[in-house]
Amino acid sequence: MSDTYSGDTTLGITGEHAISSTAERRAVVTSPGATPSREWVIVTRGLKREYDMGGEVVRALRGVDVAIRRNEYVAIMGPSGSGKSTLMNLIGCLDTPTAGEYWLNGVLVSKMEDDELARVRNKEIGFVFQTFNLLPRATALHNVELPLVYAGIPADERKKRAKEALEAVQLDNRMHHKPNELSGGQRQRVAIARALVNRPSILLADEPTGNLDSATSTEIMKVFESLARSGQTVIMVTHEADIAAHARRVVVLRDGLIASDDRREAFKAQVGLA
């Protein structure tokens, strides 16, 4: 990632982002069983997820069709209970759907076993969480190394790549600090370095600014913006409209179904943001 992303220097430049058209998306989600072409990083068709809560079936997702093309910067938005966390868990391969298809990079992952999903998470997905989820007793460097450990990368190369990833988020002078010796913004940047160190297909962020003050939130959103600009596919789950508005495209969920899926300009107009 360090070759395409070089930090704040690229921020502030405006330009047109890759964004798929509604027609293209409809075409790809309405052909069940067909393998999507490689440009589609994520395609879900009729994705359903039901939970059995003591005899009562809770239908968290009731048939979601989403298609996300490479290099898109998409926000998934919705109030609590809308199913956005469930969708994020499915997209992040932490969970499997009750019904429907999920194609990641042209591979059907919705039918995969536990360990295969672990492999996919390791190779294809970089997670950024609201609560950072860094290992408290490990240094920043070791935290960033972790995905490479599970990828079976030899120690020397691991160290080298982890260092580069931390340099890219301007934390080269904090490598040997533990999480409790870092500020919230620094912790989230460590998490971003960790998410990107294995060069994943998608960066999946779950309320990435939820535990940060507004200044730090802005700083993190700038990092995301810059990553998206450099070609990284970014998917961000949030319940805050102004955070969602940083993305190029906003998918709004309500009651387990997609309520709207449009460019951010349309979304802004809809929710009344300037």
Binding site for other proteins (CB under 8 A): 89, 92, 94-95, 114-115, 118-119, 121-123, 127, 129, 133-135, 137, 146-147, 149-152, 194, 198
Q: Cβ closer to other proteins: 92 or 97?
A: 92
Task: Give Cα 233 distance to the centre of its chain.
Answer: 8
Shortest distance, CB of residue 115 to other proteins, whole angstroms?
Answer: 4
How many Å apart are CA 99 and CA 24, to the nearest integer? 23
Buried b (16+ CB within 10 A) or exposed e, 99-137: ebbbbbbeeebbebeeeebeebbbebbbbbbbebebeee
Buried b (16+ CB within 10 A) or exposed e, 241-253: bebbbbbbbbbbb
Shortest distance, CB of residue 151 to other proteins, whole angstroms?
Answer: 7
Shortest distance, CB of residue 143 to other proteins, whole angstroms?
Answer: 9
Q: Position 2: which residue type?
A: S
Q: Cβ closer to other proteins: 36 or 92?
A: 92
How many Å apart are CA 111 and CA 6, to the nearest integer? 37
Q: Cβ closer to other proteins: 195 or 234?
A: 195
Q: Cβ closer to other proteins: 28 or 196?
A: 196
Shortest distance, CB of residue 224 to other proteins, whole angstroms?
Answer: 19
Structure tokens at 117: 């999903």
Residue 73 in contact with residue 79, Cβ under 8 Å?
no
Shortest distance, CB of residue 138 to other proteins, whole angstroms?
Answer: 9
Residue in the block written with tokens 């999946």: 204
Q: Cβ closer to other proteins: 105 or 133?
A: 133
